Structure 1
Amino acid sequence: MAFAAPDLGHFATVGPVLVWVLVVTFVFLECAFVIGLFLPGDSMLLTAGIVLAGHAAGSTHVWTLSAAAAAAAIAGNQVGYVLGHRSGHHLVARRNGRYVNTRNLHKVNALLDRNGFWAVLIARWIPWVRTLCPLVAGAARMNHRTYTIASTLGALAWAPVLLLLGFYAGEFLERVPWLMPAVLGVLVVGLVVGTAVGVAQYRQELAKPAEDYEVE
Structure 2
Amino acid sequence: MTLAASDLGPFETVGPVVVWILVLTFVFLECAFIIGLFLPGDSMLLTAGMVLAGHSAGVMHVWTLSAGAAAAAIAGNQVGYVIGHRSGHHLAARRDGRYFNTANLHKVNALLDRHGFWSVLIARWIPWVRTLCPLVAGAARMNHRRYTVASSLGALAWAPVLLLLGFYAGEFLERVPWLMPAVLGVMVTALVVGTILGVRQYRQELAKPTEDYEVE
TM-score range (shorter-chain normalised) is over 0.9
Given residue 80 of structure 1, which amino acid in structure 2 is its aligned partner?
Answer: G
Question: Cα distance, 1:8 vs. partner?
Answer: 5.9
**How far apart are 1:10 and its partner, in Å?**
2.3
For residues 12 and 87 of structure 2, the distance between their equivalents in structure 1, rounded to whole angstroms, comes to 44
Tell me the equivalent position of 1:4.
Answer: none
Q: 1:89 corresponds to which residue?
A: 89
Tell me which amino acid in the other structure corresponds to 2:117.
Answer: F
Unaligned runs of 5+ in 2: 1-6
SS of the residue aligned with 1:176?
coil
Corresponding residue for residue 153 of structure 1: 153
In structure 2, the partner of 1:171 is: 171
How far did 1:158 drift?
0.1
CA distance in 2, matches of 1:94, 1:43: 26
Structure 2 counterpart SS, 1:212 = strand
Does the residue aligned with 1:88 lie in a helix, a strand or coil? coil
Instruction: Give the letter aligned to residue 137 of structure 1.
Output: A
Instruction: Give the deviation of 1:9 after TM superposition.
Output: 2.0
In 2, distance between residues paired with 1:13 and 1:47? 15
Question: Deviation per CA, 1:163-209, whole angstroms, max 9, x where unpaired?
Answer: 00000000000110000000000000000000000000000111001
Match of 2:61 in 1: 61
* Structure 1 equivalent of residue 74 of structure 2: 74
Secondary structure at the counterpart of residue 211 of structure 1: strand
1:182 alignment counterpart: 182
In 2: Cα distance, 1:10 partner to 1:53 partner: 15
Q: Pick closer, same or farther for the CA change 1:56–1:8 going to 2, 3 Å.
A: closer
Where does structure 1 lack aligned partners over 5 or more consecutive residues?
A: 1-6
| Counterpart residue number, 1:201 | 201
The Cα RMSD (Å) is 0.9
Tell me the SS of whatever aligns to 2:93.
strand
Instruction: Describe the superposition over 1:74-108 as per-residue Cα deviations: whole angstroms up to 9, x where unpaired.
Output: 00000000000000000010110000000000000
1:5-44 matches, cutoff 5 A: 9-44=9-44
Tell me by how many angstroms 1:14 deviates.
Answer: 1.0
- 1:53 and 1:213 map into 2 onto residues whose CA distance is 45
Q: Distance in 1 between matches of 2:38 and 2:8?
A: 27
Quote how far apart the aligned CAs of 1:15 are.
0.5
Give, as a single letter, the amino acid of the residue that structure 1 aligns with 2:195: T
**Structure-2 change in CA distance of 1:141 and 1:163 (3 Å):** same
Partner Cα distance (1:192, 1:174) in 2: 23
TM-score w.r.t. structure 2 length? 0.96
Deviation at 1:13, TM superposition (A): 4.4
Of 169-178 and 11-20, more deviation after overlay is shown by 11-20
Percent of residue pairs identical: 87
Show CA shifts across 1:26-48 (max 9, x none). 00000000000000000000000
8 Å contact kept, 2:38–2:199: yes
Q: Please say if residues 77 and 134 of structure 2, whose CA atoms lie closer than 8 Å, have aligned partners that are also in contact.
A: yes
Displacement, 1:133?
Answer: 0.1
| Structure 2 contact 8–54 (Cα < 8 Å) conserved | no
Deviations 1:85-134 (A, max 9, x none): 00000001011000000000000000000000000000000000000000
Determine the C-alpha separation between the residues in 2 that align with 1:12 and 1:25: 22
* Residue number in structure 1 paired with 2:121: 121
